Amino acid sequence: MGDLLQGKRILVTGVITDSSIAFDVARLAQEEGAEVVLTGFGRLSLVNRIAARLPKPAPVIELDVTDQEQLDSLAERVREYVPALDGVVHSVAFAPKEALGGNFLNAGWSDVATAVQVSAYSLKSLAMAALPLMERGGSIVGMTFDARYSWPSYDWMGVAKAALESTSRYLARDLGPHGVRCNLVAAGPIKTKAATSIPGYGGFEEVWAQRASIGWDPTDPEPAARGVVGLLSDWFPRTTGEVLHVDGGVHATGC
């Protein structure tokens, strides 16, 4: 047990399975002294079962990041468990299959709009919903996949991640006066349920096997989770609008 987040209250979205980065963030945050509240979408009974596997059981609040009523009531519902928040983790992304797997030129706007709203605009939505709970400032951390490049099969999710990275920079600008930092962690490929549903996911693992200078284990979400926990802590008090790469060094290597 450490004390990197001692006394902090952290809201973590996107916990679906115990193999997800979000689950490891919640676990490490608890081990570093934080009080954690989770959000779930859809099958809350499943999220509750996963939450019970944490070092300490964490409450689960329903949150659909595209539902304005749920966003508007988020602060009130979080206050049932903690009086305020010091950190928020955005680990939410989705694109319809029609917008992935080589369909870049064929995807229609409705599918693209869904990808952008859920994967990028939701960072702003979540930040504004949580802001009333962050009167003493804090840290918002999201998850991205290096959007400087086009990736095979990633298609409109890649575009959505580029929008997410831009959204984070604008939030860093506009939330700074509130004492709130906003940063992203760009992780390498992790074999989560969401990732493996992407057509051609195996190609990402091949790239990382060849180019990760310090090595990369796609079954281990802890390195990325450590990056998130670090950014949630007070060790980066003047870091905002940043993308921290936790990818084994692939972002820094050529072909």
- Written as one string, the DSSP assignment of 55-86 is SS---EEE--TT-HHHHHTHHHHHTTT-S--S
Judge whether 184 and 142 are in contact, CB under 8 Å.
Answer: yes
Place of tokens 């080589």: 102
Catalytic residue status for 81: no
- Written as one string, the DSSP assignment of 158-215 is HHHHHHHHHHHHHHHHHHGGGTEEEEEEEE-----HHHHTSTTTHHHHHHHHHH-TT-
Closest C-alpha to 102, from 57, 152, 63: 152
60 strand-pairing partners: 38
N residues, the chain: 255
- Written as one string, the DSSP assignment of 20-44 is SHHHHHHHHHHHTT-EEEEEE-S-H
- Measure the CA–CA gap between 31 and 113, rounded to whole angstroms: 38
Choosing from 161, 170, 193, 201, the catalytic residue is: 161
Choosing from 149, 154, 191, 193, the catalytic residue is: 154
Closest C-alpha to 41, from 80, 79, 75, 14: 14
For residue 135, the 8-state DSSP code is: T
Catalytic residue status for 161: yes
The catalytic site residues sit at 154, 161
